[in-house]
Amino acid sequence: MTNDIGLFAPAPGSGDSGVSAEKPAEEPKAPELVYGSAEEFLHEQLLPTYVRDVDNRALKWCIEWYFHPEALSRIEALWRAWEHLRLDGATGMSVWWRDHADHHMRVLLDPRGPFHKCDMQKHRDPEHLEPKKAPAGWFPDVRGIQP
């Protein structure tokens, strides 16, 4: 077996710095978003394709969904995942439906989910969980610690 380490490195003293005279390859341009916001995605893509009979018993929705922090975060996650997975022409959309849409929509529409106090016509502010602070030192700030 041969040792291939350094196989393509310039020979010492050859004067070849390894820098190509060709123009460096441009980095690929990031694909443009289809939707400009989570709200646009919700109105243009998600709700027109994810159709359910919301009866306020088995499924709940709030007409003012944007007042619910959990809903905002989940819809933002759905949008970002959709924008990423749409680029996978093989299984991207299947993965999005299975791992993202089905999961998050099941939680959002659950009668005990974030819209549990609301209905299709009336928003009621959600009650936030009130945490108690942990004893000092239990959760040190690790932002400045290098791994």
What are the residue ranges spanned by the domains of the chain? 54-126
Q: What is the mean pLDDT of residues 119-136?
A: 86
Structural contact between residues 101 and 52, judged by C-beta atoms closer than 8 angstroms: no
Predicted pLDDT of residue 15: 55
Give me the helix-helix angle, 69-85 and 102-109, nearest 10°: 160
- State the average pLDDT for the chain: 86
Q: How far is the C-alpha of 7 from the C-alpha of 117, rounded, in Å?
A: 68
Predicted pLDDT of residue 119: 78
6 residue type, one letter:
G
Which is nearest to 120 in space by CA: 51, 47, 61, 42?
Answer: 61
pLDDT tier for residue 8 given thresholds of 50, 70 and 90: very low
pTM of the complete model:
0.72
Q: Which two tokens stand for residue 75?
A: 């819809």
Which is nearest to 118 in space by CA: 53, 67, 62?
Answer: 62
Q: What is the mean pLDDT of residues 50-60?
A: 87
